[in-house]
Structure 1
């Protein structure tokens, strides 16, 4: 299974496995193997609850299989069950202490809980075992950035580009860090390199458009965001950013259409609620503006 699993949030209700008669040892191993294989496909389809159900049964049948613990930990992590993920990764590492995959994934779970120093320990250990694991390097860069250690985070991205500079994503990831640092010219340069490598890279167009927006280069932003939406009409982030750009250019009605669609695609899109609220407020549609600001507060801060 690839070590770079794309995070997803699919949810397939899965109750406890149906009790089975006790199987002979060889049959138990065979069933556990098939369950692990099916779980791998469930994970690829972001059906993580179904994967957890299969892996739980596989672990009951063959409790010393490190891969099953590792995969279940990853499934838990991808649906934000971080404590359960840590428990599974701990067991996987007890069984297989030098698993760079389990160390890197446990580090990602620690980072998601804000436990960055423990995350860095796992990433550093993983990189001693697998120095060119690009996903671990990127996860380490993210943790360093979260700790405010931006120069070190940039060094990690430089390592990724040195190894994998022919892949557009390598440049986009560093561009995202530059944008986080408010270094928009540098971000635009990296996004441009990503687009030179992959002219159909929707996220590259969207992110470069957003960087242009942040430095008030609205016409260039609009051109990039239009291209992103041409390639992917349901790209919620590009629609949200284009809505903000259109508002800056004075077309509030078109802006609202984009923001309506972005929120329809992602009802948890906090920033889109805030921007739409500001536009509605400007149009003196205050009840609707209050509704959007209230929803943004509920989503971000849990306001009742």
Structure 2
């Protein structure tokens, strides 16, 4: 081959980018990564952000976005490293602190999560998602009254968010405060009448309050909106059993277990119904499954 003529059969080395070009390319890569994240294409986002960071390592947002994608993909150690780098560059980033707190919580490091959330809330005291994440950790720490305070603050900031009423209702239900839970689910449904989760959860609270006909109405509507809601099917099965319709109850519980083969509570309720019907071999099978799921027998 004569000198000066390139052989195009072999790839050429990329030319060195100028500083301005490197910054421009890094910016476009970050922008594309954000769209990948919106599309839940997190591996593609990570690839773009990794190149962007190589080109412009002092851009905190790239580290934070990559950390967020790692977090969503449950690559927790990688997420923590990226959030740490982001916070070196922007120590007062409430978003990075909140996201790192969520990562710590997912890893079971609850005190570390609380420290991140507390710091983040000094910077952004009205951040709803950080308040919600903090409330979840308080529940995991069994600090339920404090969690309730956080949920009440969230609602006070925006009473029109149906999800926030449901979240507090779930906590009331966990605390066995069923009347309060029913009130909160009702407020959620005033904001969003077709909110299947609120209907399902209110139906469950009504069941616990022994208001079976009202519970059945809510659970029927929840299943019209979301036929594959295994929890609503399980709850309706329990309600039907209380109303004397054991065959209908078994049908719902069978469907719930088909949707979630590890639905421990549904096995337990179905076992109790089978026992009442003198179908003891089947009852033994269900109770054995409960012992396996709950205690590893």
After TM superposition, the structure 1 = structure 2 runs for residues 219-230 of structure 1, keeping only pairs within 5 Å, are 219-230=213-224
After TM superposition, the structure 1 = structure 2 runs for residues 66-81 of structure 1, keeping only pairs within 5 Å, are 66-81=60-75
Partner of 1:188: 182
After TM superposition, the structure 1 = structure 2 runs for residues 20-35 of structure 1, keeping only pairs within 5 Å, are 21=14, 24=17, 25-35=19-29
Partner of 1:286: 281
Name the CA shift for 1:87/1:241 in 2 (closer, same or farther; >3 Å). Answer: farther
After TM superposition, the structure 1 = structure 2 runs for residues 264-303 of structure 1, keeping only pairs within 5 Å, are 264-267=258-261, 269-279=263-273, 284=279, 286=281, 290=285, 293-294=288-289, 297=292, 303=296
- Larger Rg: 1 or 2? 2
Partner of 2:4: none
Alpha-carbon offset, residue 39 of structure 1: 3.1
Q: Which runs of 5+ in 1 are unaligned?
A: 1-19
The answer to whether the 8 Å contact 2:101/2:112 transfers is yes
Matched, 1:59 2:42: no
Equivalent residue in structure 1 for 2:233, among 227, 239, 244: 239
Name the CA shift for 1:204/1:109 in 2 (closer, same or farther; >3 Å). Answer: same
Q: Which has the higher contact order (CA 8 A, sep 6+)?
A: 1
After TM superposition, the structure 1 = structure 2 runs for residues 124-139 of structure 1, keeping only pairs within 5 Å, are 124-139=118-133
Name whichever of 31-40 and 101-110 sits farther off: 31-40
Q: Please give the root-mean-square deviation of Cα atoms over the aligned residues, in Å.
A: 2.9
Q: Which runs of 5+ in 2 are unaligned?
A: 1-12
Name the CA shift for 1:32/1:156 in 2 (closer, same or farther; >3 Å). Answer: same
The answer to whether the 8 Å contact 1:277/1:293 transfers is no
Alpha-carbon offset, residue 141 of structure 1: 1.6
Name the CA shift for 1:200/1:88 in 2 (closer, same or farther; >3 Å). Answer: same
Partner of 2:208: 214
Name whichever of 279-288 and 215-224 sits farther off: 279-288
Structure-2-length-normalised TM-score: 0.82
Matched, 1:48 2:45: no
The answer to whether the 8 Å contact 2:33/2:44 transfers is yes
Matched, 1:200 2:194: yes
